[in-house]
Amino acid sequence: MTPRLQLSGITKRFPGVVANDAVSFSVAPGEIHALLGENGAGKSTLVKIIYGVQRADEGGLAFDGRPVEIHSPKEARALGIGMVFQHFSLFEAMTVLENIALGMDDPPPRRELEGRVREVLNTYDLALDPHRDVHTLSVGERQRIEIVRALLQKPKLLIMDEPTSVLTPQEVEKLFETLRRLASEGCSILYISHKLHEIKALCETATILRGGKVVATCDPREESTRAMAELMIGGSLKDLTGKDAALTGAARLTVAGLSAPGEPPFGTALKDISFNVRAGECFGIAGVAGNGQNELLSVISGERRDGVSGTIAIDGKPITGLSVTGRRAAGLASVPEERNGHAAVPAMSLAENAILSARSRMGLVGGGIIRSGAARRYAAKVIEAFSVKATGPGAAAKSLSGGNLQKFVMGREIMQDPSVLVVSQPTWGVDAGAAAFIRQAMIDLAARGAAILVVSQDLDELLEMCDRIAVINTGRLSEPMDVKGISIERVGLLMGGVHGAHAGGDAAEKAA
């Protein structure tokens, strides 16, 4: 059978790096093909070449057996290639239909478009109201807009870039049904992910990339996740150690009746949140993005204090009235979700970034004057202890890769030996090796008696490292659950906002 898509010897160089090195593989009609690899392995560059966003330096593409040159996404769409990006490009203040029309090369009249959109929604059993404003939709529903956009073009090849990173387990299952259905109709799917159990459940073939090269092609249903992971990182995986030994003592971080307004314009208000984190404990907060996680983190760190009610205490002493600096002095360390421009200043050196949050606890400032020597030494210590790949304390934060900058940021906080560490998305966009390292460092800190609060959309991560988990949805926090013997289905339902007994329902259906 003629392959739907055939890549032969695709090579793409950027100054100083080869992003793709003679990559060849093919996707059959109706096949669900996984493209697997760590961040920086070259997956994104490769799909951008297929979708016409970038052009290969060498090598060629064939579509349905015909050699093609794709110069733009428009040409890709004309060939029958659709793509759903990881990050959506939607206008929050507009309706679903308006957003779809804006994304089309040549939109038909409104009424005709609505008819076609409804047809796609019905055919693939997708729950979505075309007239809703986007800012009222859940992440899963927003993704459906992007899928509908792609399906309206009747694609022969659909590229999905990390589609499940923000979905609840139920939404993932629903997405997979849609994709299987599409494949059964002959549409090929190129599925990009680093979540191995999903690939095992969905894909028939997997091409594994490392350092821009194809290192293996396999049938994921036959391989163990561990074997695939080791192919991906090119080394052996280490298990987390010391978690069982974690002793949990008295409550160190106590949050009671915390409420706060949402960040404008479409933020989520926090509603009466109460929990505590004990000494030696890792406490996880799961939830779909945009349900109040950022608000909760900035209220605890002290970055937002306007309109906040309720109390936050460390070791029984209230810190609610203290500034960011005061809270740090009281033993709190925090790492926000966004590294660039929030946890770190990209244009500044690592030594200066050490001053940003460690200046008072580590004595990097005296009498109002910066102690540059001490700052450089502290930054160098963090670089060494957390094996950060950087030229030294003078390297600009923006010159580090995402994983290395995250290691530096985490190290900067952990090495201050805080009594409470609050972290959001500790391993977002970080490769598997660095992620394991960061998780281990947090567990080690807990083992020394600190209380750790982890906010993450990655449920697997929370299950791996936390002792208890609670779920945040529309600004409310569920009861905490022990991770041992936890029901994934129940967590998924809570993430989708279903608190009653509607098994199998998700946020979209509830809303529709």
Closer CB to another protein, residue 153 or residue 248?
153
DSSP string, 2-43: --SEEEEEEEEEETTEEEEEEEEEEE-TT-EEEEE--TTSSH
Least separation in angstroms between CB 500 and another protein: 34
Q: How far is the CB of 346 from another protein (least distance, A)?
A: 7
Q: Which is nearer to another protein, 276 or 427 (CB)?
A: 427
CB of residue 86 to another protein, shortest distance in Å: 6
Q: How far is the CB of 379 from another protein (least distance, A)?
A: 11
- What gap in Å lies between CA 283 and CA 300, rounded to an integer? 14
The answer to whether the beta carbons of residues 61 and 70 sit under 8 Å apart is yes
Q: Which is nearer to another protein, 29 or 80 (CB)?
A: 80
Minimum CB separation from another protein for residue 95, in Å? 19
Q: Which is nearer to another protein, 389 or 502 (CB)?
A: 389
CB of 20 to another protein, least distance (A): 10
The Cα 440–Cα 139 span in angstroms is 30
Tokens encoding 183? 């494949």
Helix/strand/coil for 348: coil
Question: How far apart are CB 445 and another protein at their closest, in Å?
Answer: 20
Q: How far is the CB of 117 from another protein (least distance, A)?
A: 20
- Indicate the residue among 302 and 496 with the shorter CB distance to another protein: 302
Residue with tokens 């990559």: 23
Q: Which is nearer to another protein, 72 or 136 (CB)?
A: 72
Query: What is the DSSP pairing of strand 205-210 with strand 32-36?
Result: parallel
When the beta carbons of 354 and 472 are compared against another protein, the nearer one is 354
Alpha carbon dihedral 125, 128, 129, 131, in 10-degree steps, equals: -130
Do residues 96 and 128 lie in contact, with contact meaning Cβ atoms separated by under 8 Å? yes
Task: Quote the least distance from Cβ 137 to another protein, whole Å.
Answer: 17
Beta strands in 211-279 (DSSP E): 213-218, 251-260, 270-278
Q: How far apart are CA 481 and CA 215, in angstroms?
A: 41
Shortest gap between Cβ of 44 and another protein (angstroms)?
5
CB-nearer residue toward another protein: 287 or 480: 287
264 contacts: CB under 8 Å, gap ≥ 6:
none
Nearer to another protein, 387 or 399 (CB): 399
List the one residue out of 42, 39, 61 whose CA is nearest residue 50. 61
Q: How far apart are CA 466 and CA 285, in angstroms?
A: 9
Residue with tokens 């959109």: 117
Strand partners, 159: 83, 190
Give the span between the Cα atoms of 115 and 433, in whole angstroms: 48
Q: In whole angstroms, how close is the CB of 479 to another protein at the nearest point?
A: 30
User: Beta-strand (E) ranges in 64-108?
Assistant: 66-68, 81-84
Compare residues 29 and 73 and give the one whose CB is closer to another protein: 73
Helix, strand, or coil here: 383? helix
User: H/E element holding 314?
Assistant: strand 309-314
Closest CA to 284 of 427, 449, 474: 427
Residue 336: is the preceding peptide bond cis (ω within 30°)?
no
Which residue's CB is nearer to another protein, number 338 or number 482? 338
